Chain A
C-alpha cells in the first residue's frame, strides 16, 4: 500500500523535474536568439571515423541497417550539425545560432553508467571575438542561475595554450598523453621530474611547471604569469582570455569566473576558448564547451563556431538536495461542496484558459488527494473563499476571484 503510493510519486517528481529543467533551458536559450533544431538519431559510422579523435569509437553504439551498412546511434550533436551546415554553406555568410535538446548514446567502457543521456546545448556559428565568446559563457551562467544554482563556477581556459607547448616540444604520442595527464591532475609532485627526464629546456620547463598554479581569480592568475617568460603566442592567448573576462565583467559575472590554464578538454577539436561549469555539491562538471573553428574543415567548409552542452540527468541530480517544497506545487486547488460542482467547473475552466494549473476535487476526497498548491479555493453553499499564504479572502463570483488572483499571480505564481 505504502509502496504504491510512494513510488509513482518519486517517479513523477523526477520526470517533472526533468521537464521543468528542459523548459527553463529552452526559454533561456530562446531569449539569446537561438533556434531549436533536431538531428537524426542514427548517423553514418563513417562520419565519426572521419573526424579525428573526437569520441572514442568503442563508446559508440553501432547498428547495422538492411543493406549491411554500419550506423551509430547519435553519440554527439555538434558533429552532425557542423556536417549538415557544411553541405549547405561552404563559407559562413552570416552568424547562426542553434540549440538542441536530444538524447545522445555512449557506452562507457568501464563504467556501469546509462548508455542514454539527454544533452541540451547551443552552437553559435560566428567568428571568434571576445564579445561572442563571452556572450556564450554568459548564457551558460545565466542558464545555471535560472535553474536555481547559487554557487556557480566557470573554469575558463584556452586550447591553444597546451597545443603551443606540445608543438614546441616534439614529443611522442605516449609522452604527450603522460604530460597531459600530469597537467590535468595538477600533479606538481611528478611534473618536475618528468620534464627533467624529457630533456626540456629550462624556459619551457618553468612555464609547464607553473601551469598547475595558473588557476583561480583571473586577475591573480594574470599577475602570476608575469613571473614566467611566456612565448608570444602564449601571451596573446592569455590576453585574449583576459579580454573575454573583461566582457564577462560587464555582464556582472566576474565572481563566477576562474581561469585555468591547465584546462585541456577531452574533445580534441577545440581550438580556442574552452570552459566547464561546476555548481555546489555536485562532483562533476555540469556543462562543457568551447570554440571549434576548424571542425568545419573536416567537411570542406569554413565554419568557425563556439558551443556548449549540459546533461539534463546530471542537472536533475545536482538539484536533488534543493527545491523539494516547490517541486510538485500546482497553482490552484479547488475544493467544492457537491452542490457547487457547476461553479467549480466554470472556475477551473476559466483559470486553465488563463494558464493556471488547476486541480479540483469534491470536499469528501480532500483527505485522499494530498496535492499541494499555491492557493486553495473553497466553494461552499453559502460562501466562497480563497486561501493564500495563510490569508483568507472571501469572494462572490468568478470576476472577483480573477481580480484577486491577478494580484496574487503578479506577486508569486
Chain B
C-alpha cells in the first residue's frame, strides 16, 4: 500500500485534527506541540503529514504534492482550486462576515471601500448583491481600517466577536459559515480510491 500525504497548517485546527487522527488509529508518537519538524510520519508509516502555511494547502493539494489537505473553508473560498471537497470536519467553526459601524448602510452611490484579508470573497459577495466595491487587501488588524477611515467596512472571519466589539464594530451581514474541510487531489482520488475512501469513512465515523 502506498502512503497518503496530508497537508495542513499548524495551529489550533491542526491540533484538533491530530486528535481526530488519533481516534481513527493514526498515531504520530514523535509529534509534540513544540516540534519544528515540517514532515512527520505516523507510527505505521501509512501517512505522511506535512505542515505548510494554511493558505498554501489548496495549492499543495491541487498540484498533487499532497493527496489530502485540511484547510478552512475561508481559504478555499478566497482561492478556489480544482479539487474534491469531500468532508466537513466541523472544527474551527466561525463565520465570514461584513463588519462595520452599527449604523452603516450600503447605498448604491459611490463604490463601497472594503478592507479584507479576503479580497476575492469580499468582491464576489458584494458584486452578487449588485453593490460596487473597491477592495483593499490587508494582512492583519483589519478592524483598524474603518476606525481610521481607510475603508467603509471590512470582511473578515468572526469567531466570538470580541475584537469587533472592543473596537465599536458589529457584524452587519453574514457571508458564509466556515469550518475545516477535507480536500482531495483528483488524481489521488482516482489512483488511491479505496485508501482515501477508507480514511474519509473512518473520520466520519469518529465524528459521529
Q: What's the least CB distance linking B169 to chain A, in Å?
A: 28
Q: Is B185 an interface residue (CB 8 A)?
A: yes
User: Which 9 pairs, one residue from A and one from B, show the smallest C-beta to C-beta distance?
Assistant: A283-B64, A153-B190, A278-B187, A278-B190, A189-B88, A187-B85, A185-B85, A186-B84, A283-B63
* Residues of chain A contacted by B82 (CB below 8 angstroms): 184
Q: Is A279 an interface residue (CB 8 A)?
A: yes
A189-B181, A216-B193, A258-B193 known; A283-B188 Cβ under 8 A: yes
* Residues of chain A contacted by B62 (CB below 8 angstroms): 283
* Residues of chain B contacted by A190 (CB below 8 angstroms): 85
The distance in angstroms between the C-alpha atoms of A284 and B61, with both chains bound, is 10
Q: Is B186 an interface residue (CB 8 A)?
A: yes
The distance in angstroms between the C-alpha atoms of A278 and B191, with both chains bound, is 7
Q: Report A108-131 CB contacts with B as 1/0, cut-off 8 Å.
A: 000000000000000000000000
In the bound complex, do residue B191 and residue A153 qualify as a contact, i.e. CB atoms below 8 Å apart? yes
Majority SS of interface residues in chain A? mixed
Residues of B at the A interface (CB closer than 8 Å) are 62-65, 80, 82-88, 181, 185-191, 193, 197
Majority SS of interface residues in chain B? mixed
Q: What's the least CB distance linking B66 to chain A, in Å?
A: 9
In the bound complex, do residue A285 and residue B187 qualify as a contact, i.e. CB atoms below 8 Å apart? yes
Residues of A at the B interface (CB closer than 8 Å) are 151, 153, 155, 181, 184-190, 212, 215-216, 258, 278-285
A189-B181, A258-B193 known; A283-B84 Cβ under 8 A: no
* Residues of chain A contacted by B85 (CB below 8 angstroms): 185-187, 189-190
In the bound complex, do residue A283 and residue B190 qualify as a contact, i.e. CB atoms below 8 Å apart? no
Can you name the residue of chain A whose Cβ is closest to the Cβ of B197?
A216
The distance in angstroms between the C-alpha atoms of A281 and B186, with both chains bound, is 12
Q: What's the least CB distance linking B50 to chain A, in Å?
A: 14
Can you name the residue of chain B whose Cβ is closest to the Cβ of A190?
B85
In the bound complex, do residue A282 and residue B87 qualify as a contact, i.e. CB atoms below 8 Å apart? no
The distance in angstroms between the C-alpha atoms of A283 and B186, with both chains bound, is 7
Can you name the residue of chain A whose Cβ is closest to the Cβ of B64?
A283
Can you name the residue of chain B whose Cβ is closest to the Cβ of A216?
B193
* Residues of chain A contacted by B187 (CB below 8 angstroms): 278-279, 282-285
Q: Would you give 14 A-B contacts (Cβ < 8 Å), ordered by A?
A: A151-B191, A153-B193, A181-B80, A185-B85, A188-B87, A215-B193, A280-B191, A282-B187, A283-B186, A283-B187, A283-B188, A284-B63, A284-B186, A285-B187
The distance in angstroms between the C-alpha atoms of A155 and B83, with both chains bound, is 15
* Residues of chain A contacted by B86 (CB below 8 angstroms): 186-188, 212
A189-B181, A282-B64 known; A258-B190 Cβ under 8 A: yes
* Residues of chain B contacted by A283 (CB below 8 angstroms): 62-65, 185-188
The distance in angstroms between the C-alpha atoms of A280 and B87, with both chains bound, is 24
* Residues of chain B contacted by A282 (CB below 8 angstroms): 64, 187
* Residues of chain A contacted by B65 (CB below 8 angstroms): 283
* Residues of chain B contacted by A281 (CB below 8 angstroms): 64
The distance in angstroms between the C-alpha atoms of A374 and B66, with both chains bound, is 38
The distance in angstroms between the C-alpha atoms of A48 and B80, with both chains bound, is 27
* Residues of chain B contacted by A186 (CB below 8 angstroms): 84-86
The distance in angstroms between the C-alpha atoms of A336 and B188, with both chains bound, is 51
In the bound complex, do residue A185 and residue B190 qualify as a contact, i.e. CB atoms below 8 Å apart? no
* Residues of chain B contacted by A185 (CB below 8 angstroms): 83-85
Q: What's the least CB distance linking A211 to chain B, in Å?
A: 12
The distance in angstroms between the C-alpha atoms of A281 and B189, with both chains bound, is 11
Q: What's the least CB distance linking B166 to chain A, in Å?
A: 33
